[in-house]
């Protein structure tokens, strides 16, 4: 039940040679969006689309007026500092613009000279947040992550009873979402007392962690009081990016009861600059599988489309470098790898559940998946799981050990879609280096 069209033809090639290089990961079948400018310049940030190792400057392309009808209307929204206006238009406009861009960058296109004059090398670009994020919700949809974390804090009952019935989420802090490359200052706060009745500790977090998640940007959204049904949900997903939900576990353990995460999460959330459109992900859909022994989703969260192809096959990797490893020119070390397909709930189910009470979503809202750990130990995408709550050290190839993040450590999160006979789609990466507390 995937919605494939001519833009997904695996045989398509571009007149730009680097777009045909699988190691780069931005082929003509991809065309993700970002907001950029030339690094170090005073240029205005504006939307662009990745093609090979280049960026197509959409603001300048709009001035050339190469398209017509819905594609032209969509392109005309790509002149400001965010993509919110494009996100608000909806799927018909997104698809029309994608088709027009695809035809423009294919081998033999009459628009080759026009597009070539508008290219900016990715190596010469810097990025801004792709949207004005008015609201940010983070979910918790990996049963493997939920169970592993529960074993640390609740060994007798690691998985809470509501997990298998509804997607659990909390309201995050939109103002502290930052783009890849932004340094993260170690947070300061309270931590749990050593003994009951004693005063809590206070100071820099000693258990600073990363969490590899995916996130989606909301498209048109819904009016307050009006639900988005499971049949409509896909139409409200503009695209997907990588997200690092930085977490101070010692602060979190003390504050989390009874209202959930607060200061342990609100100091920084890093996202990758490229938004991979939902349409580009169509070839990587998979069936939704729920163990027969588990509760099946309630009817409002399930339809045939979810059952047949509600899941996305997106490979995930978390890597680390340290001050010591960079000084010795070591490559970043792989900490763990997993896949979005291990999610217990789908992206469309998150949209539907979020609005079932009438909550209104807006164009550019960000929705995180929660840590996307898989079933195996090497698929644990946070230090809290990898070190089992700091009870064991993770050995790094250059001789250092880690239980949680130390100052100077840099986390790099990556994602990609790979399948036989189809070009590789890269999501780029989300990076952040830890700075000392101030």
The string over 144-175, giving b where at least 16 C-beta atoms fall within 10 Å of a residue's C-beta and e elsewhere, is: bbbebbbbbeeeeeeeeeebbeebbbbebbbe
Q: What is the largest CA-CA distance in the chain?
A: 75
Cα-based angle 326, 204, 413 (whole degrees, multiple of 5): 40
- 203 three-class SS: strand
Rounded distance, CA 265 to CA 176, Å? 9
Rounded distance, CA 50 to CA 58, Å? 10
Rounded distance, CA 274 to CA 34, Å? 5
List the structure tokens of 103.
């035809």
Rounded distance, CA 401 to CA 396, Å? 6
Residue 354: active-site member: no
List the structure tokens of 195.
């003994």
Rounded distance, CA 14 to CA 17, Å? 7
Contact 409, 251 (CB under 8 A): no
Please name which of 404, 158, 131, 168 lies closest in space to residue 273, comparing C-alpha atoms. Answer: 131
Contact 405, 270 (CB under 8 A): no
DSSP 274: P
Cα-based angle 251, 138, 286 (whole degrees, multiple of 5): 135
Contact 360, 137 (CB under 8 A): no
Question: Is the C-alpha dihedral spanning 140, 275, 23, 322 positive or negative?
Answer: negative
224: exposed, middle or buried (Cβ count in 10 Å: 0-12, 13-18, 19+): exposed
Count of residues making up the chain: 438
Please name which of 363, 293, 305 lies closest in space to residue 93, comparing C-alpha atoms. Answer: 363
Name the active-site residue from 145, 236, 337, 353: 145
List the structure tokens of 2.
């995937």
DSSP 14: B
Residues facing residue 368 across a β-bridge: 138, 215
CB neighbours of residue 100 within 10 Å? 21
**Which residues are marked as active site?**
145
């Amino acid at each position: 039940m995937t919605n494939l069209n001519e833009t997904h033809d695996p045989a398509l090639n571009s007149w730009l040679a680097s777009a045909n290089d699988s190691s780069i990961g931005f082929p003509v079948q991809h065309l993700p969006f970002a907001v950029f400018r030339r690094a170090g310049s005073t240029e205005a940030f504006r939307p662009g689309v990745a093609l090979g190792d280049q960026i197509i400057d959409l603001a300048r392309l709009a001035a050339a007026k190469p398209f017509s009808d819905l594609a032209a209307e969509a392109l005309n929204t790509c002149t400001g500092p965010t993509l919110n206006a494009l996100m608000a238009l909806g799927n018909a406009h997104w698809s029309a613009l994608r088709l027009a861009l695809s035809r423009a960058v294919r081998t033999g296109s009459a628009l080759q000279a026009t597009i070539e004059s508008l290219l900016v090398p990715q190596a010469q670009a810097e990025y801004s947040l792709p949207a004005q994020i008015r609201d940010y919700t983070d979910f918790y949809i990996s049963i493997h992550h939920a169970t592993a974390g529960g074993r640390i804090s609740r060994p007798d009952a690691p998985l809470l009873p509501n997990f298998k019935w509804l997607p659990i989420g909390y309201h995050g802090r939109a103002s502290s979402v930052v783009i890849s490359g932004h340094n993260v200052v170690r947070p300061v706060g309270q931590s749990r007392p050593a003994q009951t009745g004693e005063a809590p500790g206070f100071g820099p977090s000693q258990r600073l962690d990363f969490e590899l998640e995916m996130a989606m940007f909301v498209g048109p959204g819904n009016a307050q009081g009006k639900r988005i049904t499971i049949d409509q949900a896909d139409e409200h997903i503009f695209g997907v990016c990588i997200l690092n939900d930085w977490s101070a576990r010692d602060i979190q353990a003390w504050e989390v009861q009874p209202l959930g995460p607060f200061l342990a999460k609100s100091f920084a959330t890093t996202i990758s600059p490229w938004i991979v459109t939902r349409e580009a992900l169509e070839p990587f859909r998979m069936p939704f599988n729920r163990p027969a022994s588990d509760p099946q989703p309630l009817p409002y969260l399930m339809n045939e489309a979810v059952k047949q192809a509600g899941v996305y096959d997106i490979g995930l990797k978390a890597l680390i470098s340290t001050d010591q490893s960079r000084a010795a020119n070591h490559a970043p070390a792989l900490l763990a790898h997993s896949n979005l397909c291990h999610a217990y709930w789908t992206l469309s189910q998150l949209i539907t559940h979020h609005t079932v009470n009438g909550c209104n979503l807006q164009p550019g809202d960000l929705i995180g998946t929660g840590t996307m750990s898989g079933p195996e130990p090497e698929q644990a995408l946070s230090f809290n799981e990898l070190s089992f709550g700091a009870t064991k050290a993770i050995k790094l190839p250059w001789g250092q050990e880690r239980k949680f993040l130390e100052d100077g450590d840099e986390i790099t999160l990556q994602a990609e879609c790979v399948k036989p006979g189809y070009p590789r789609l890269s999501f780029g990466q989300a990076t952040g280096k830890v700075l000392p507390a101030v």
